Amino acid sequence: MQTVAKPQERQTAYSLLARHALFAGIDDQTVEMFAQAGQLQEHTKGNILFLQDDEAEWFYVVVSGWVKLFRETMDGHEAVIDILTYGQSFGETAILENGQHSFGAMVVEKSTLLRLPAAMLKRSVTENNRMALAMLHTLSDHRRRQTREIESLTLQNASQRIGCFLLRLCHIDMPQPIELKLPYDKSLIAARLGMKSETFSRALNKLRDETNIKVEGSNVIIPNLDTMSRFACSACSNEFPCEDTHHSH
């Protein structure tokens, strides 16, 4: 972990926070206070930020890269709860859960993170009703994402879930065929989608047959967005493009 030099830091922190849902409609003075207290940090792949049940000293906003949230089961397996990227925050809900993190967080690709003091957030939410309302809205967004996640795990088959994952990396106005780079390891994508590696491979082959995508290493080519969304979105209550993709954050 490496902390970035001070001067540019506050400006980056400020512009990131000012656009974050947690600070929507919040006065400049408060945003500035958080930006001052924030620390920009560069992390390499594999860094653990905190573990489940740790006291929450900080919460985080992703500036770039990818962070995995996870929980460990009694028999030592890992459930990947979420994988977050640019503009998404995590750890802030600990202030509502006795100050402890209910999951662990690990950097899965080289990342820059802004960390902010949890105590400052707790004080602001308690004293400032606008902060409380803004936090209510972010939790409500999160709830909607999780509901979609449960729906997808319940109704989509493995190939459709992979298709859904790929669609979430696409913008509707990208020129076709669309060329993508997978954001992180295939084994992690499998875990994120709740599949064993073998299931993932089989399902990816089926998706290839159904939608004519090409996959070479981490490069993916999607020839036709309509074909893909017809295949993946039929078993879902959302239409492509989803309201709850990363881009809307």
Q: Which residue ranges make up the site for a second copy (CB under 8 A)?
A: 52, 71-75, 77, 79-81, 93, 96-97, 102-103, 125-129, 132-133, 135-137, 139-140, 142-144, 146-147, 149-151, 153-155, 194, 233-237, 239
Give the nearest distance from C-beta 39 to a second copy in angstroms: 25
Query: Judged by CB, which is closer to a second copy: 132, or 174?
Result: 132
Give the nearest distance from C-beta 105 to a second copy in angstroms: 13
State in Å, rounded, how far the first CA of the chain is from the last one: 26
Say how far residue 213 (Cα) sits from the centre of its chain: 25
Give the nearest distance from C-beta 150 to a second copy in angstroms: 6
Query: Judged by CB, which is closer to a second copy: 14, or 50?
Result: 50
Q: Which of 43, 55, 150 is nearest to 102 (CA)?
A: 55
Query: Judged by CB, which is closer to a second copy: 142, or 168?
Result: 142
Contact status, residue 22 vs residue 138, Cβ threshold 8 Å: yes
Give the nearest distance from C-beta 138 to a second copy in angstroms: 10
Contact status, residue 68 vs residue 108, Cβ threshold 8 Å: yes
User: Which residues on adjacent β-strands are paired with residue 39?
Assistant: 115
Burial of residue 149 (CB within 10 Å: 0-12, 13-18, 19+) is middle
Query: Judged by CB, which is closer to a second copy: 10, or 246?
Result: 246
